[in-house]
Structure 1
Amino acid sequence: MKRRSFLKATALTSGAVCLNVAGFRAAARAQFGPGSNPVLVVIFLRGGQDQLNTVIPYNDKNYYAIRPSCAIEKEKVIPLDDQWAFHPAFAPMKEWYDKGKMAAIINAGSPHSTRSHFDAQDFMEFAAPGNRTVRDGWLNRYLTATMPDANKGYGLPELRTLGMQELLPRSLRGRYPVLAVPNNLDGLQETLDLFEGFYGGDKKKDLAEVLKKSTNVRKGVAADPVMTSGRETIYGLRRLQQLLEGEGVEEGLGDTAFQEYPGGHFASRLQKLARVIRADVGLEIAATDVGGWDHHVGLGSVDGALQRMLTFMSEGLSAFMTDLGKDLDRTMVLMCTEFGRNAEENGNAGSDHGHGGAMWLLGGKLNGGKIYGKWTGLQKSVLYQKRDMPVTTDFRDAFAEVLQGHMKFEAPDGFFPDYQAKLDSLGLFG
């Protein structure tokens, strides 16, 4: 590693994110009590997830008329009530819906009319539709607004947030430092080995010499604080790595049952995240993406592209919720997508970029087992621009209600730029 690259990495590691994981549990309990702090997990479905074939208005004749090859036959859906049903590939979620631990918000989304993936994703993750000047993600704004006074200098002793992928989701980008967790932890191992070599007992003078030559800082001013912070960071990251890999995670977790997960990166991320949540280290916010929802071709009916996506997603989510055990009551999963898709199928047995779509909520103290939002039907006269599901619930209302009802945080004026969220407009928490 080049000297400049090392120093840059050192500054980011020891200065921006001081991860003293040994203090995570104590800090969390001092603030919230043992195992009581709420956790919000945000999963972004990138590409524009299709609402109509996931939560299906199976008694609406227009649904079958506008989707002659893609509609799910009545005999094959999973009914929720007389109006709504799940796609058969979403079967693992039916149990959670029946238990009141899952709900959907239909016709949700952004009031902005863009059909661009990039703009729509930015608008939702920054929670500022149409505003291209806001660059702090809405989750990062929450973390900044709720930062304990002792940590205003960004020397953070507790693990409040994780990005469960190598590239941070936009919602987590901003002033508050966030650690990104790669799918393959070998890279983290190599990085820790490198830093440990510099911060280790025999290498203190080596690092001090490097810093002295490279920064022209007076002897004694930089060395001790950097060494102390660096050693704490390396120790903390080692402990985090152990949690993510499941080493020693059983300690202190009582009779929690460990759940087997399906294969794939998505399920693996959820499994790692469940370990951190169960370990009760003060985690509040986590986020990850699931790409692959842009089904212009081959959306499918009971099989096809959507079926494959819903299968691995629902199996992973169900395993995650089971794995959390008693911690599910303090953990909420929020799933959203940049926009929905056309109501009518296209000439390629798919569906193009639309407007209103679905949001999904799981866990926590959710008033679940319900389909929220305003349903307006599928007649062309009520569709947005005569082609799309309309937006009858602004996504910011859902964000605000989750922050207030689950995280116990009422967004102040300006938290959602140019918008005053309608709190409790949905009634997600009874």
Structure 2
Amino acid sequence: MNRRNFLSLTSTLTGGVLLLPDFLHAFGNQKQLITGEECLVFIQLNGGNDGLNTFIPYDNPLYYEMRPKIALSKDIVIGKNRGMGFHPALKDFAQMQQNGDLSIIQNVGYPEPVRSHFRSQEIWQTATDSNKYLNEGWLGRFLDQQYHDHHPTAAINIDSIDNLALKGMEPNSITVKDPNRFKIKKNKEEEVTLSDNPQLDFVRKIANSVVEGSDEIQKALGNSTTEMTYPKTGLAKNMEWIARLIKGNLNSKVYYTTLGGFDTHDNQLGIHERKLGELNDALYSFYTDIKSAGLLQNVTVVVFSEFGRRVKDNGNGTDHGTAAPMFIIGGNTGGKIIGTNPNLADLNQGDLKHQIDFRSVYATLLKEKMHFDYSKIGINNQPLAGLF
């Protein structure tokens, strides 16, 4: 069994109690992060979110000409600025932007775009070219560089499956669906020394990560409470957990979660409105919670999707496209709009041409928020100016 498969089996726990056998009681002490250190929170919108109906070029007649069935009337677009505005379901996105706490990066993508959900997600998660493949994610590689030994709670993935972005050579992340039920027990308090079997030692290291991670998560939950009411949706619950862990000083560098349902080939208007509403309400609750705790300057939220949709509608929805906006909330971002408005008159086979490579955004996050040399993990794109 290779380490990737074992990591998936061992560190992905969706709830309940796991009893570890005595021989897996592991060794070593985890390195503690500094209280108040900055962290990144990622919300991945799976399915290919329609960027043109999210942050809308309402002042461009080509938008209405090419989307006769699904274009949103300029009368209902909100937060208008420079010919662009938000979908009405994103009323709190508009408010955060007005507060100076949300920046929009327009036309984000990558060269030679791929329209397969799985492959494009993999490209975003590994930060590679579209014709290259890696087994480790960009955040996993970053975390490998940060620690001499494994750190089980360096990254927390609130989900039922692992995320490739967080996979590295060391077990520096834990995937858990319900942190409150992530309680791991071991039989005895006896130390087990390293053996001459590297595979067995890695098994022990994984087991130690799970136990230590459980202890640290429960400690953070015990140090925090929820002072407000979150919506009763899956994403909102995930964001509430992340807020609790941040406020409880877990001090993970990365938190990650996903929201699916954005593959709107049909019935787009209704489906997209509901999904954007779920995103808006969950994220604004998190934003309010973290800001009330005085932590927003230390928390940077990144919202992205693997690709946007085609410019022209298909009659009742949209098909897979390329470039789309990214949203950055908190972390002392300036509430800016970065990049030019989508050029609907200059398309590539019916799709938007990307203006900003997503790896430039990653480089900016690593440099400005993690104080890390992004080139060490193979990112060669230059950071964006003025995001923070």
Shorter-chain TM-score above 0.5: yes
1:314 corresponds to: 280
Contact persistence 1:341–1:353 (CA under 8 A): yes
The AA in structure 2 aligned to 1:47 is: G
Q: Distance in 1 between matches of 2:135 and 2:207?
A: 29
2:167 corresponds to: 173
1:253 corresponds to: none
Structure 1 position 378 matched with structure 2 position 341: no
The AA in structure 2 aligned to 1:90 is: L
Would the alpha carbon gap of residues 393 and 263 (structure 1) be closer, same or farther in structure 2, given more than 3 Å must change? same
Q: Distance in 2 between matches of 1:135 and 1:232?
A: 21
Secondary structure of the residue that 2:268 maps to in structure 1?
coil
Cα deviations across residues 221-275 of structure 1 (Å, max 9, x unaligned)? Answer: x9xxx8xx989964762451354xx44525xxxxxx7221101221111111111
2:369 corresponds to: 406
Would the alpha carbon gap of residues 42 and 69 (structure 1) be closer, same or farther in structure 2, given more than 3 Å must change? same
Would the alpha carbon gap of residues 268 and 376 (structure 1) be closer, same or farther in structure 2, given more than 3 Å must change? closer
Q: Unpaired segments of 5 or more residues in structure 1?
A: 251-256
2:14 corresponds to: none
Q: Distance in 2 between matches of 1:40 and 1:324?
A: 13
Alignment of 1:101-120 (within 5 A): 101-120=101-120
2:125 corresponds to: 125
Would the alpha carbon gap of residues 231 and 90 (structure 1) be closer, same or farther in structure 2, given more than 3 Å must change? closer
Q: Distance in 1 between matches of 2:359 and 2:92?
A: 28
Contact persistence 2:287–2:296 (CA under 8 A): yes
Secondary structure of the residue that 1:365 maps to in structure 2?
coil
- How far the C-alpha of 1:9 sits from its partner, in A, is 6.2
The AA in structure 1 aligned to 2:224 is: V
Structure 1 position 162 matched with structure 2 position 129: no
Secondary structure of the residue that 2:301 maps to in structure 1?
strand
Contact persistence 1:183–1:265 (CA under 8 A): no
Give me the TM-score of the superposition, normalised by structure 1: 0.77
2:326 corresponds to: 359
The AA in structure 2 aligned to 1:335 is: V
Larger helix proportion of the pair: 1
Would the alpha carbon gap of residues 339 and 12 (structure 1) be closer, same or farther in structure 2, given more than 3 Å must change? farther
- How far the C-alpha of 1:106 sits from its partner, in A, is 1.5
Q: Distance in 2 between matches of 1:402 and 1:46?
A: 21
- How far the C-alpha of 1:421 sits from its partner, in A, is 0.9
Larger Rg: 1
Contact persistence 1:330–1:364 (CA under 8 A): yes
Secondary structure of the residue that 2:176 maps to in structure 1?
coil
Would the alpha carbon gap of residues 293 and 50 (structure 1) be closer, same or farther in structure 2, given more than 3 Å must change? same
Secondary structure of the residue that 1:75 maps to in structure 2?
coil
- How far the C-alpha of 1:11 sits from its partner, in A, is 9.7
Q: Distance in 1 between matches of 2:116 and 2:72?
A: 28
RMSD of aligned residue pairs (Cα, Å): 3.3
Match of 2:266 among 273, 276, 297: 297
The AA in structure 1 aligned to 2:157 is: G
Q: Distance in 1 between matches of 2:159 and 2:344?
A: 37
The AA in structure 1 aligned to 2:297 is: D
- How far the C-alpha of 1:12 sits from its partner, in A, is 11
Match of 2:188 among 196, 199, 202: 199
Contact persistence 1:39–1:331 (CA under 8 A): yes
- How far the C-alpha of 1:41 sits from its partner, in A, is 0.9
Contact persistence 2:47–2:306 (CA under 8 A): yes
Worse overlay, 333-342 or 128-137: 128-137
Worse overlay, 405-414 or 53-62: 405-414
Larger strand proportion of the pair: 2
Cα deviations across residues 148-199 of structure 1 (Å, max 9, x unaligned)? Answer: xxxx243x3x73211111212110012131443433457634xx2xx33x23
2:79 corresponds to: 79
Secondary structure of the residue that 1:49 maps to in structure 2?
coil
Q: Distance in 2 between matches of 1:199 and 1:42?
A: 37
- How far the C-alpha of 1:293 sits from its partner, in A, is 0.7
Worse overlay, 280-289 or 53-62: 280-289
Q: Distance in 2 between matches of 1:236 and 1:83?
A: 47
Alignment of 1:227-306 (within 5 A): 234=211, 237-241=214-218, 243=220, 246-250=221-225, 258-300=227-269, 304-306=270-272
Q: Number of matched residues?
A: 366
Q: Unpaired segments of 5 or more residues in structure 2?
A: 1-8, 11-17
Give me the TM-score of the superposition, normalised by structure 2: 0.84
Contact persistence 1:242–1:249 (CA under 8 A): no
Secondary structure of the residue that 1:268 maps to in structure 2?
helix
Deviation above 6 Å: which 4+ runs of structure 1?
A: 5-9, 229-233
Q: Distance in 2 between matches of 1:120 and 1:89?
A: 26
